[in-house]
Homo-oligomer: A and B are copies of this chain.
Amino acid sequence: MHDTDRKEKCGVFGVWGDPDAAHLSYTALYAQQHRGQESAGIAASDGKRIKAHVGMGLVPEVFTDEDLDRLKGAAAIGHNRYSTTGSSKCENAQPLLEEYVGGQVAVAHNGNLINADLLRRHYEERGHIFHTSTDTEVIIHLLAAHHLSKQDPVAEALTHLQGAYSLVFLFRDHVQACRDPWGWRPLVLGETAEGHPCVASETVALDAIGAKFIREVEPGEIVTLSENGVSSRRFADVQQPAHCIFEHIYFANPSSKLFGDTVQIARETMGEKLADEAPVEADYVIPMPDSGRSAALGYARQSGIPFREGIVPNRYVGRTFIQPTEKQRKTAVQLKLNVIDDVVRDKRIIVVDDSIVRGTTTRGKMQQLRRAGAREIHLRISSPPIRHACYFGIDFPDPSSLIANQRTVEDICDFLGVDSLHYLSIDGLLHCVSRPANNYCTACFSGIYRIQVDRPVSKLRLERDQMEMFPSGG
């Protein structure tokens, strides 16, 4: 037996009624590319059959004009998938397109199910077979199992799921989209200029296709997009929401509206709050580009210390750089981010970034700043220390690899070689967003999970590495 996987930052989209549904999906996936660069896929229905095209790579690499032209029909869904490991394969790309007693169905999933393994074992014991290791595949088994016996098989299937899921289903003649009762991942409802309903992970996708934002899909809600417009039903009672705060910190597009706040503004506010929590005398506030840019701006504004650009990104850096020889390895560190010596030399600088995961990259940057002559380096992080695993859709490395997992802030400060280090507090963070504090999930910082998670993480990791053929869902 194997186990499903944890890599779950993805983007989803769906539209009903536009004759160029596949083209709209393409544009929406393009705008949501930041949510997943490993693979992309679109499934479209012409009312009779569903066709799908999926592939590895960025959206424009996956699709040709001809691919889009073949995806005929007025209903379509799309999926962006995040890349973390080299072993990923085309088999993992979504939407999954399957055939069952109800006909064809395609599904795109953003999130992570924590009871997928149990459900999979349940179905395997009843003779079902699986061809991916995505937790997404069990959803279709649930749907198939309840198709003949239940009036609302989709709603029935969802009641069996535990975890985070924003899902978009494409059936022959309609689209259904739903969000788990806790609202971990975002999902918004929009309307195109021509009046057709659509759903997307982020409002940036709506902007890209010229659609207007209508509202969030509610936690526990299913919306159906069809020739009858949009209809809604609930499949679960209202819960206390558990919105993923990390979407605001790092993951979402700055121009998106998320859980009631504009991301860019939330990030600037985090920088302001950070300045309040950890003021320090310095010459400049310097952002780590591009991740720390918004918070650095807030920090500078609040502290009154000048904002300067001191680190320059190479806009053309990609994954394919040929490893330099051993000798060059030391020297090529400046390739991705280059320090402007004349800005930082002999200066006391505050460097602002959004988070630290393993710490090794950050350390390299701090050394580079030091070599360029920075006199003092004060590192300010606009999120609390990441200490715990996420089971709800963010793919952090194993907790033992997280620099903050078993180290104090002082130890980390020493390791990074900076003069001072401050992380934004959880309370401070929650002041930067507008919903009540208990509406957000902060488990990666606090270790307090909203629903019980009882599997040892290290075992899961191990099994994943043995399982090249079947990486995880969406």
A residues apposed to B, CB below 8 Å: 1-2, 20, 23-24, 26-27, 30-31, 33-34, 37, 48-52, 58-61, 63-65, 68, 70, 90, 96-101, 103-104, 123-131, 133, 137, 140-141, 144-148, 193-194, 204, 207-211, 253-255, 257, 262, 264-265, 268, 290, 293-294, 297, 300-301, 306-309, 312, 314-318, 320-322, 324-325, 327-328, 330-332, 334-335, 338-343, 466-470
Contact = CB atoms under 8 A, between A and B. Distances in A.
Contacts of A145: 127
A466 B50 CA distance: 10
Chain copies in the assembled complex: 4
Contacts of A137: 129
B26 A343 contact: no
Contacts of A211: 331
A193 B343 contact: no
Nearest to A331: B210
A33 B141 CA distance: 37
Given A129-B144, A312-B255, A468-B70, A58 B332 contact: no
Contact of A98 (B34, B101, B131, B330): B131
A148 B124 CA distance: 10
Instruction: Name the prevailing secondary structure of the A interface residues.
Output: mixed
Contact of A316 (B58, B123, B125, B335): B58
Given A2-B99, A210-B334, 13 more contacts: A30-B314, A31-B334, A33-B316, A61-B320, A90-B90, A99-B124, A100-B124, A208-B331, A254-B340, A255-B339, A262-B341, A268-B308, A290-B315
A435 to B, nearest CB: 16
A464 to B, nearest CB: 12
Contact of A470 (B65, B99, B300, B320): B99
Contact of A27 (B290, B294, B335): B335
Given A48-B466, A207-B334, A342 B265 contact: yes
Question: Which has the most chain B C-beta neighbours within 10 Å: A60, A147, A262, A301?
Answer: A60
